[in-house]
A and B are shown apart, each in its own frame.
Chain A
Amino acid sequence: MRVVTVEPHRHEGVFIYRGMEDALVTLNMVPGQSVYGERRVTVNEGGAKVEYRTWNPFRSKLAAAILGGVDQIHIKPKCKVLYLGAASGTTVSHVSDIIGPDGLVYAVEFSHRAGRDLVNVAKSRTNIIPVLEDARHPLKYRMLVGMVDVIFADVAQPDQSRILALNAHTFLRNGGHFLISIKANCIDSTASAEAVFASEVRKLQQENLKPQEQLTLEPYERDHAVVVGVYRPIRSSSKSRSSK
């Protein structure tokens, strides 16, 4: 009989469940509740029972990126995250688990049907702030959002680079990071996937969004890529002296 354990992943706030099958899990902030019908596992840790929720990489691009071996997700406990394209809140709930009660995730979603589910998820998790506005106009919700450390963009729109850039200029702090999920079909269905990814990365570079890594989400998604990068990197003081 194999002993069931949960060990921390390289990324802070994410864990690996080792039981009958291995799974990616996050610590459930609301024990006893499943957000989208996912499996929950309870483990004995030093006497207390701790509950984790399994993270499905086929439904969540962030989980697919982690399992694909992305170097840094930059979303860690106590972080402030701006999540564009929150949909029904399935991945947002996992981000909420990772950042914990001291972090904040601003979940932006324009669709009303998905927004209804998002608001329900946000009711039991106080670190999710639902924003039911169009991400194309960040100035419209500037009253609600403060400066964030990470932007995660999963909007699946042809002008998603512009959307990310606008939001970064308004809300992302200097030296903050961004993760953008690019669906090649969505941008240009005639061009090859690699060409689409390259052109998107070029568009990002023009807006001061410096890409640091790119990986495709095979085998979970087809023709999808996640680009991780930094915005207005803070150059160390020695470098700035030399440039002057």
Chain B
Amino acid sequence: MLVLFETSVGYAIFKVLNEKKLQEVDSLWKEFETPEKANKIVKLKHFEKFQDTAEALAAFTALMEGKINKQLKKVLKKIVKEAHEPLAVADAKLGGVIKEKLNLSCIHSPVVNELMRGIRSQMDGLIPGVEPREMAAMCLGLAHSLSRYRLKFSADKVDTMIVQAISLLDDLDKELNNYIMRCREWYGWHFPELGKIISDNLTYCKCLQKVGDRKNYASAQLSELLPEEVEAEVKAAAEISMGTEVSEEDICNILHLCTQVIEISEYRTQLYEYLQNRMMAIAPNVTVMVGELVGARLIAHAGSLLNLAKHAASTVQILGAEKALFRALKSRRDTPKYGLIYHASLVGQTSPKHKGKISRMLAAKTVLAIRYDAFGEDSSSAMGVENRAKLEARLRAIEDRGIRKISGTGKALAKAEKYEHKR
């Protein structure tokens, strides 16, 4: 009799050496007390190893659904058909399927259960080619990939990317600012007027990179970087500059710094694009409501999209203004009206008088969008677009008539106008 035993490293087919012992079901366990005894009663006939976790995953899913996957079919055909012996299986349903598809007689009985228990307890000793460590590692890996498969884990819905990207963006900005200040100061020793003429940092660095020493300005071509008059100004200033001379080596180092600055600037634009893409993929509704940057900052502040979804709308409204909030709460004063949400475009485009009102309304709708993105199955931004349109309509209504009510009947409207005329 052959036994089919599935493990996380592969399929094992054992041959029962001593069939007589199978008659005594109750004492069968004694035969598996030690690896040596176990090897006397069953012997590994064939071991079909899984090449990688993907194969193991496919085998497991087939096993769970009670089907035979290709690998198992191959093994069964090759080994069992040749041997013309019945096959013992752990799962009766699987046995039925094997009999149907491959016309092999399968056994499933209490004896088989005992046999399985025995093999399982001596698994390490009975399968020589596989080290216990390897089996344990494979088991762990398979369990984790299985759970990911069950939880329908999709790699592009991971919000850790957003949190890291926005932190990196802030770090890059700080560093970039430091480097540029340093660059200006350093080169200003040689050519101070350039700093005053060119205010844009990136142009300054590019210009510097092109020219280098003050002497080369007369012959340099700066037309792509600067407009005509500025170029002329720069060239004139280069002639009569009050800065000191510097050696080749010094200019070399300053040029290195400039190259670094330009590279970091380029990377920053790339990173921003990446962040926009990720935000759109992970939280499309939030992106539509408050924009990518504000959305990313909210997620980073809360730690994860799921954490952010657990907050109330009033919390999201003042997320980012904790210092002001607790200071006001302690001294019983007015609490802040907006936190990170202040930088959303909807709040930015209202007059200062109505910023608080808009911030509250925006927070309420944004929280709906956050929860939709965090827990919802589909990833379209239709809901966000709808809500934003509603908010924009309300915003216009507020701006147009400050005294007018947003909701209410037309009668109230007429009354207000009547009073206006009386004046």
Is there an interface contact between A104 and B136, defined as CB atoms closer than 8 Å?
yes
Q: Taking the nearest CB of chain B, how far is it from the CB of A84, in angstroms?
A: 15
Residues of chain A within 8 A (CB-CB) of B142 are 143-144
CA distance A2 to B303 in the complex (A): 38
Q: Taking the nearest CB of chain B, how far is it from the CB of A12, in angstroms?
A: 22
Is there an interface contact between B147 and A119, defined as CB atoms closer than 8 Å?
yes
CA distance A43 to B121 in the complex (A): 39
Contact among B29, B63, B151 for A174, CB-based, below 8 A: B29
Contact among A104, A118, A129, A171 for B120, CB-based, below 8 A: A171
Is there an interface contact between A139 and B144, defined as CB atoms closer than 8 Å?
no
Q: Taking the nearest CB of chain A, how far is it from the CB of B160, in angstroms?
A: 12
In the assembled complex, B262 has its CB within 8 A of some CB on chain A: no
CA distance A182 to B265 in the complex (A): 63
Q: Given known contacts A139-B91, A140-B63, is B150 in contact with A147 (CB within 8 Å)?
A: no
A141-180 CB contacts (< 8 Å) to partner B: 141-144, 146-147, 169-171, 173-174
Beyond the given A143-B6, A147-B120, please list 19 additional residue pairs across the A-B interface where CB-CB is below 8 A.
Answer: A112-B150, A118-B147, A119-B147, A122-B144, A129-B140, A129-B143, A131-B147, A132-B150, A139-B90, A142-B63, A143-B7, A144-B60, A144-B143, A146-B139, A147-B117, A147-B121, A147-B123, A169-B117, A170-B116
Is there an interface contact between A131 and B143, defined as CB atoms closer than 8 Å?
yes
CA distance A130 to B144 in the complex (A): 7
Q: Chain B interface (Cβ within 8 Å of chain A)?
A: 6-8, 29, 59-60, 63-64, 90-91, 113, 116-117, 120-121, 123, 136, 139-140, 142-144, 146-148, 150-151
Residues of chain A within 8 A (CB-CB) of B151 are 112, 115-116, 119, 132
Is there an interface contact between A170 and B140, defined as CB atoms closer than 8 Å?
no
CA distance A131 to B139 in the complex (A): 11
Is there an interface contact between B140 and A132, defined as CB atoms closer than 8 Å?
no
CA distance A243 to B265 in the complex (A): 86
Residues of chain A within 8 A (CB-CB) of B7 are 143
Is there an interface contact between B63 and A130, defined as CB atoms closer than 8 Å?
no
CA distance A238 to B422 in the complex (A): 113
Residues of chain B within 8 A (CB-CB) of A170 are 113, 116-117
In the assembled complex, A185 has its CB within 8 A of some CB on chain B: no
What's the A-B contact tally at a CB cutoff of 8 Å? 69
Q: Taking the nearest CB of chain A, how far is it from the CB of B31, in angstroms?
A: 12
Residues of chain A within 8 A (CB-CB) of B91 are 139, 142
CA distance A143 to B139 in the complex (A): 9
Q: Taking the nearest CB of chain A, how far is it from the CB of B261, in angstroms?
A: 38
Q: Given known contacts A129-B140, A143-B63, A174-B29, is B147 in contact with A115 (CB within 8 Å)?
A: yes
| Residue among A126, A132, A141, A144 with the highest chain B CB neighbour number at 10 A | A144
Q: Taking the nearest CB of chain B, how far is it from the CB of A4, in angstroms?
A: 32
Looking at chain B's contact residues, the main secondary structure is helix
- Sorted from nearest, which 4 A-B pairs have the closest CB atoms? A147-B121, A132-B150, A129-B143, A143-B6
Q: Chain A interface (Cβ within 8 Å of chain B)?
A: 104, 112, 115-116, 118-119, 122-123, 126, 129-133, 139-144, 146-147, 169-171, 173-174, 232
Is there an interface contact between A115 and B140, defined as CB atoms closer than 8 Å?
no
CA distance A58 to B137 in the complex (A): 35
Closest A residue to B6 by beta carbon equals: A143
Contact among B60, B64, B139, B150 for A129, CB-based, below 8 A: B139
Is there an interface contact between B150 and A144, defined as CB atoms closer than 8 Å?
no
Residues of chain B within 8 A (CB-CB) of A126 are 140
Is there an interface contact between A142 and B150, defined as CB atoms closer than 8 Å?
no
Residues of chain A within 8 A (CB-CB) of B63 are 140, 142-143
Closest B residue to A119 by beta carbon equals: B147
Is there an interface contact between B117 and A130, defined as CB atoms closer than 8 Å?
no
Residues of chain A within 8 A (CB-CB) of B148 are 119
Q: Taking the nearest CB of chain B, how far is it from the CB of A8, in angstroms?
A: 28
Q: Given known contacts A116-B151, A169-B113, is B6 in contact with A142 (CB within 8 Å)?
A: yes
List 10 contacting pairs A-B, 8 Å CB cutoff, sorted by A.
A115-B150, A119-B144, A129-B143, A130-B143, A142-B6, A143-B6, A143-B63, A144-B142, A144-B143, A232-B29
Q: Given known contacts A104-B136, A115-B151, A169-B113, is B144 in contact with A143 (CB within 8 Å)?
A: no
Is there an interface contact between B123 and A146, defined as CB atoms closer than 8 Å?
yes
| Residue among A130, A132, A143 with the highest chain B CB neighbour number at 10 A | A143
Residues of chain B within 8 A (CB-CB) of A133 are 64
Is there an interface contact between B147 and A146, defined as CB atoms closer than 8 Å?
no
CA distance A147 to B5 in the complex (A): 14
CA distance A116 to B91 in the complex (A): 29
CA distance A142 to B117 in the complex (A): 11
CA distance A169 to B25 in the complex (A): 14
CA distance A119 to B151 in the complex (A): 10
CA distance A131 to B140 in the complex (A): 10
CA distance A133 to B64 in the complex (A): 10
CA distance A171 to B121 in the complex (A): 9
Q: Taking the nearest CB of chain B, how far is it from the CB of A242, in angstroms?
A: 15
Q: Taking the nearest CB of chain B, how far is it from the CB of A29, in angstroms?
A: 15
Q: Given known contacts A104-B136, A173-B121, is B147 in contact with A144 (CB within 8 Å)?
A: no
Residues of chain B within 8 A (CB-CB) of A173 are 117, 121
Closest A residue to B59 by beta carbon equals: A143
Is there an interface contact between B8 and A144, defined as CB atoms closer than 8 Å?
yes
Is there an interface contact between A142 and B90, defined as CB atoms closer than 8 Å?
yes
